Amino acid sequence: MEILIGIAKMNKYAMADCGDSVEVAERPRGGISAILADGQGSGKAAKITSGLVVAKAAALIAEGARDGAVARAVHDYLFTIKDGKVSSTLTIISVDLDTETLVFSRNSNCPVIIKGQYGIDIYDDAVNPIGVHRHMKPLMHQIPLEVGTIVVSYSDGIQAAGRKQGQTMEQDSILKYISDNPPEDVDYIATGILEHALELDKYRAGDDMTVVAVGVSDRDPDHKIQRISVSFPY
Amino acid sequence: MEILIGIAKMNKYAMADCGDSVEVAERPRGGISAILADGQGSGKAAKITSGLVVAKAAALIAEGARDGAVARAVHDYLFTIKDGKVSSTLTIISVDLDTETLVFSRNSNCPVIIKGQYGIDIYDDAVNPIGVHRHMKPLMHQIPLEVGTIVVSYSDGIQAAGRKQGQTMEQDSILKYISDNPPEDVDYIATGILEHALELDKYRAGDDMTVVAVGVSDRDPDHKIQRISVSFPY
């Protein structure tokens, strides 16, 4: 079997820095996690905030901390270093091969969308971002790991796309990318959703935009070669 | 312009865990770093060692630490938590857009190979791994960042491929993949070198194998969408 992750990310129009950060971390007891953070504001300050958030989360995951503890510790860290004055979203999507579950943790105004065997579930209960409230809990979910599953989440710039142009990002158009494609096509799903959002913004992104898509495939590649491919335009 | 990173990685034959770890970290002042570690031994213990090494390095890079300080601090960390008893290689390849240089740091028995404007340079001076000697220095190099450059490094399993089969990995065959391909094809370069090593090992890898290839391209993609694609077979 094969876990596939596709990530597409771009800066707010005319900004040199992206306030969203994303990182992929291997889990020491097996599996892999994708971490997405959207730092408050935009530009360099937001990039530094979200960069610290995802790096701290990745380091804790590499040390074996469970995801709920990771989200809490990263909140406490941000709350401490910024004195409760700077918020960030934090979404962690983990394929945990040790427990054979899919675990996801949300501190974001954007949903986690799951396509499973019986259709699509949208997890979008209201929850606070990290960093600004003394007491913070992530919304955690754990479901059995099943072949064919696709998990998608994204940042605010996707959800709010088109707003400055008097248009609205319909969630149905996001769901269509997920329902129409197999888990092997997570790169296409992530890029497709981002490009659709960009189109709504008339190719001048109103905010930083990031899409993360995770697929669980029954493909069994020869020799089990793990691959990572990064394209970083500047 | 565009920085491209291609990584290919596989486990030693019949091992459930890979003792090599690799991570890609965004630099807070601009640019991106690829971090490769090969933990002593193989299997789960080596995976945990190298996982901690790359995660610590990535977290320090995200906090803005310079690469030479990162290598030293990660050595001190491993030396402390394992009481000087466990070694790891550590190679950091950074495209630093703040200083417009390519920075690389070696604590590895494997070379860093650079294809630049005037040909190929091989950086393979002897240097100790991290974790086992009280005093340790990384071998650091910093060169101007030039379009067209390709940087390749790999782990021991590539260099020693074929040994158990009475064959030898000729460095020339690695260099051929680098000299014959443009920076846009780093995925192909990484996979090609790994598959060649695997062939020498008669498709039973004698050790964990990882190849990291970084390219600097003058391609200017529309809308500057950053992409990450991961394939993680299990």
Cβ–Cβ < 8 Å for B4, B200: no
Max CA separation in chain B (angstroms): 51
Cα–Cα distance, A95 to A73 (Å, whole number) = 20
Q: How far is residue B201 from each of residues A11, A91, B170, measured CA to CA in Å? A: 44, 41, 13
Please give the model's pTM, rounded to 2 decimal places: 0.96
Q: How far is residue A90 from each of residues A164, B112, B129, measured CA to CA in Å? A: 25, 36, 35
Cβ–Cβ < 8 Å for B67, B32: no
Q: Find the mean pLDDT for residues B142-149.
A: 97
* A6 in contact with B, Cβ within 8 Å: yes
Contact B9 A234 (CB under 8 A): no
| Tens digits of residue pLDDT in A94-109 | 999 999 999 999 999 9
Select from A24, A62, A194 the Cβ nearest to the Cβ of B225: A194
Q: Counting every residue, how long is chain B? A: 234
The alpha helices in B119-185, defined as continuous H runs, are 156-159, 171-179
Cα–Cα distance, B29 to B62 (Å, whole number) = 9
Contact B59 A56 (CB under 8 A): yes
The burial of B135, by beta-carbon neighbours within 10 Å (0-12 exposed, 13-18 middle, 19 or more buried), is given as exposed
| B-chain residues near A2 (CB < 8 A) | 231-234
| Chains A–B, number of C-beta pairs less than 8 Å apart | 197
Q: Where are the beta strands (DSSP E) in B53-186?
A: 90-96, 101-107, 112-116, 119-123, 139-144, 150-154
Q: Find the mean pLDDT for residues A148-174.
A: 95
Q: Distance (Å) from the C-alpha of residue B85 to the closest C-alpha of chain A?
A: 19
Q: What angle do CA A179, A148, A23 make, to 5 degrees?
A: 85
**Complex ipTM value:** 0.96
Mean model confidence pLDDT for chain A: 96
| A-chain residues near B2 (CB < 8 A) | 231-234
Written as six digits, the tokens of B109 are 């028995």
- The DSSP 8-state label assigned to residue A124 in this structure reads -
When scoring B2, B23, B26 by the number of chain A Cβ atoms within 10 A, the one with the most, hence best to mutate, is B26
Q: Band the pLDDT of B222: cuts 50, 70, 90.
A: confident
